[in-house]
Amino acid sequence: MKRWLPYGCIALLAVVPFAPVPLYYLHLAILILIMGLICTGWSLMGKFGLVSLGHGGFMGIAVYPMALLWNHYGLTPWLGAPIGVGLAVLLGVLIGYPAFRFRVVGHYFALITLALGEVVRLSIIAARELTGGSLGMTPLRVQPITDVSWYAVQFTDKRYFYVIALVAWLGGLWAWRLVNRSMARSALEAISEDEVAAASVGIHVTSQKLRITLLSAAMTGLGAIMLGQYNQYLNPNSLSGISISLEIVFASIVGGMYTMLGPTIGALITIVFRESLRAYFGATLTGMAETIYGLLLILFIIFMPRGLWGFVVARFAHPTGDTSRLEVAATR
């Protein structure tokens, strides 16, 4: 019974778009799945103490080349996407290798990544002849115009994107599971605690950290590519820079970066919350939604440091409240 539960959930998620669901909710579901993938990628680093404040950098560097290659050379996103993901991975090497090699850890690592997100954003804005600067750019409509173009990955029907996003998100969870069941998890756990002791038992600290960073960068890049392709609009402020980088961090913390579903739950909460607050306050009291969101985040960090989902999982698995066991349970 319990074994079949995940498959049941997946099947349920797969049929959602074929039920009469209002388009707006389908739109939200797509955004949640994509952000869920990105946050899952971020948490793969975050849960091992590699706190990145610049994952927006991996987004921008992945999605823009794909869109530009399509607009200027007509290269299908099926080829543009791997190129974009490859570039995100390359950026991961450029930032990760020196940082890990020279033992830039903790706050200093966070600061370096903070710069990374901004550098990518400013570069995109600076190349405004190509990218449209801060006004953003639109991938060209496929010619002749059709409703369904697999070649251009342009669909008028949202359900196509829903299925694509669902598959990618499941792929992200699968990657999480693979990492969690490998010896790399123990190694990264050890590294996050004591790099000297980890190295003394033969762990190559730099390569372990680099590998998880590259996986995280690839997942984030893929998420950004789907986001750009789904919206058919690219903006440097929403696909790179500090603001989206922090949104990823917040969502992962709120949901709980130590559990497999936590980051996705975080993405769900963030997106639903932002949308409903925006609908409630509308154009009056601009900034109120962000203020409430910020306050809630602080409360979460204080009272539920393992996130909402981490809290639920821990309570569910060990209702007696033995906290040391809770910690362990919540990390699985």
Partner 1 sequence: MLLVDSVSKSFGGFLAVNQVSFEVKQGEILGLIGPNGSGKSTLFNLISGTYKPTGGTVRFEQRDITNLPPDRICHLGIARTFQIPRPFKKLSLLENVVLSAYFGDDALRSEAEARRRAEQALETVGLPTDAGVSVQSLGAAGLKKLELARALSTQPRLLLADESLGGLDHQEMEQAADMLHRIRSDLGITIVWVEHIMGVLMKVVDRVLVLDYGEKIAEGLPQAVATDPKVIEVYLGDQIALA
Residue in 112, 115, 109, 117 with CA at minimum distance from that of residue 50: 109
Question: By the criterion CB under 8 A, which residues form the site for partner 1?
Answer: 183, 186-187, 189-190, 192-194, 196-205, 324, 331
Task: Give the helix/strand (H/E) hosting 211.
Answer: helix 205-231
Q: Are 290 and 81 in contact (CB under 8 A)?
A: no
Q: Do 172 and 267 meet the contact criterion of CB atoms below 8 Å apart?
A: no
The distance of closest approach from Cβ of residue 229 to partner 1 in the complex, given in angstroms and rounded to an integer, is 39
The least CB distance from residue 324 to partner 1, in Å, is 7
Smallest distance from the beta carbon of 265 to partner 1, in angstroms? Answer: 23
Between 190 and 269, whose beta carbon lies closer to partner 1?
A: 190
Q: How far is the CB of 218 from partner 1 (least distance, A)?
A: 24
Kindly tell me which of 290 and 322 has the beta carbon lying closer to partner 1.
322
**148 by DSSP, 3-state: which?**
strand
Nearer to partner 1, 138 or 207 (CB): 207
Classify each residue of 244-262 as buried b or exposed e, where b means 16 or more C-beta atoms within 10 Å of its C-beta.
bbbbbbbbbbbbbbbbbbb
DSSP category for residue 261: S
Least gap, CB of 259 to partner 1 (angstroms): 15
Phi, psi for 322 (deg, rounded to 5)? -75, 105
By C-beta, is 198 or 227 nearer to partner 1? 198
User: Which is closer to partner 1, CB of 189 or CB of 275?
Assistant: 189
Of 60 and 262, CB closest to partner 1: 262
Beta carbons of 249 and 53 less than 8 angstroms apart: yes
Kind and range of the H or E run holding 155? strand 154-155
Q: Residues 61, 63, 69, CA angle at the centre, nearest 5°?
A: 100
Contact call for residues 123 and 68 (beta carbons, < 8 A): no
Smallest gap from Cβ 205 to partner 1, in A, equals 7
